[in-house]
């Protein structure tokens, strides 16, 4: 969730920096989405999905990403005029075995 009024700053950071830094660390982004109907704070929401073989891989790659000097610089610069990220939520999903997309 972006800080109110800062969603475009989040989009810009992903578009111009974050996605490339994820790729540098071997992190696979499946996609990015925003809600069609904006209500109850969803106007500040960005949803993205990433793929990892397991939780251990996710944790290791996320630690690498978080300690990357380029990421630290980008994060600091993007928040020079105030925080742009209000909160995050993580959800780990399992394959049900019957979904058409794997």
pLDDT tens digits, residue range 68-97?
999 999 999 999 999 999 999 999 998 899
| Residue that the structure tokens 């209000």 belong to | 86
Kindly report, residue by residue over 11-43, the tens digit of the pLDDT. 999 999 999 999 999 999 999 999 998 788 789
Determine the Cα–Cα distance for residues 74 and 13; give it in Å rounded to an integer.
8
Distances in Å between the Cα of 16 and the Cα atoms of 3, 12, 57, 63 are 19, 6, 25, 21
Determine the Cα–Cα distance for residues 45 and 33; give it in Å rounded to an integer.
9
Q: Whole-model pTM?
A: 0.89
Instruction: Calculate mean pLDDT across residues 52-79.
Output: 97
* Rg of the chain (C-alpha set): 15
Confidence of residue 102 (pLDDT cuts 50, 70, 90): low
């Amino acid at each position: 969730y972006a800080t109110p009024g800062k969603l475009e700053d989040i989009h810009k950071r992903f578009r111009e920096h974050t996605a490339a830094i994820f790729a540098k660390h071997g992190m696979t982004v499946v996609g990015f989405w925003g809600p069609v109907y904006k209500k109850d704070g969803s106007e500040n929401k960005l949803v993205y999905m990433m793929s990892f073989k397991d939780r251990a891989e996710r944790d290791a790659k996320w630690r690498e990403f978080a300690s990357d000097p380029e990421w630290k610089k980008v994060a600091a610069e993007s928040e020079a005029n105030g925080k742009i990220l209000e909160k995050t939520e993580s959800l780990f999903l399992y394959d049900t075995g019957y979904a058409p997309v794997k």
